[in-house]
Structure 1
Amino acid sequence: MQERIEEVKRKLAETGHKLTMQREATMRVLIEHEEAHMTAEDVYMHLKQTCPDIGLATVYRTLELLSEIQIVEKVNFGDGAARFDLRSSDRAHHHHHMICRECGQVEEIHEDWLLAMESRVEREYGFTVIDHRLDFQGICASCRSAAAKAGRAVS
């Protein structure tokens, strides 16, 4: 965890910002709950336990700043809520997601299947891809199985 905090500190310094106590606490929550795809409100509720004086506006500002400097990715899974997902420093691109339309479960895909397409876009259109995101929306295996047992179709 400390390695990632140091990376954030470095990126903040490069952009003229400091690693405040609130920013560090926010990062610790994001790292501890990395698979959760939390909203600002989720982060705030976790922070209130260890930083009772922190305000929701501070959490929003911190998450927006971390998004601007590409520490986190702001994602929307179609439920109207902005969620924040840690970016991996060892990958060129953000990971992809499978989102179940029945239960809302989000699973991550860490393999990057779009590199060949990026090369083709650059070659054929002269467009340099900086990043990409791919989200699959559908029905997870658990929901399909439950629907089958109940004798109903899922769509």
Structure 2
Amino acid sequence: MSLENQELRKAGLKVTLPRVKIYQILEKAGEGDHFSAEDIYKLLMELGEDVGLATVYRVLTQFEAAGLVSRHHFEGGHSVFELARDEDHDHIVCVKCGKVREFVDNQLIQRQNEIAKELGFTITDRTLYLYGLCTEGCEKK
């Protein structure tokens, strides 16, 4: 049984061709790649897969509910998705070209936990988006 099939079954989802294909696209994404439903739809079309945009949205929503993907709402854009990971990581987004980079900073995570404790909270989830301009000569997409 393939890894995709195992992950889908473990999440309680029936193995269907659209689910497998969408999972494969997300799985093959490089670090920092975040795809919108439209991006995934275009990739499926390029691969000759007959999967409608409504199906892509439905599958991504099912994946999110099952904990397989994380949805992000970066400022000025639409929802993007990445496979859920156990590792805490944050994002920095270029406000000019939309480039997204991921980073992990254990000191930052530790400090957030300290702040929460000082205020009488226990962190159950965290999301941090930083916005700025990339220095790699970006061009507006």
Superposition TM-score, scaled by structure 2 size: 0.80
Structure 1 residue 102: Cα displacement: 2.0
- List per-residue Cα deviations over 1:88-113 (Å, max 9, x = no partner): 14x2x3x2111111222111113443
Task: Return the structure number with greater relative CO, CA threshold 8 A, min gap 6.
Answer: 2
- Aligned position for 2:10: 10
- Aligned position for 1:31: 27
Instruction: Give the secondary-structure state (helix, strand or coil) at the position aligned to 1:104.
Output: coil
Q: Measure, in 1, the Cα distance between the counterparts of 2:117 and 2:61.
A: 30
Q: Measure, in 2, the Cα distance between the counterparts of 1:9 and 1:24.
A: 11
Q: When the two structures are aligned, how many residues end up with a matched partner?
A: 136
Superposition TM-score, scaled by structure 1 size: 0.74
- Aligned position for 2:98: 104
Q: Which of the two has greater helix per residue?
A: 1
- Counterparts of residues 52-131 of structure 1 (less than 5 Å): 52-89=49-86, 91=87, 93=88, 95-112=89-106, 113-122=108-117, 124-125=119-120, 127-131=121-125
Q: Does 1:40 align with 2:69?
A: no
Q: Cα 1:4–1:109, aligned 2, differ >3 Å: closer, same or farther? A: farther
Query: 5+ unaligned residues in a row in structure 1: which ranges?
Result: 147-155
What root-mean-square deviation, in Å, do the aligned CA atoms of Structure 1 and Structure 2 show? 2.4
Query: 5+ unaligned residues in a row in structure 2: which ranges?
Result: none
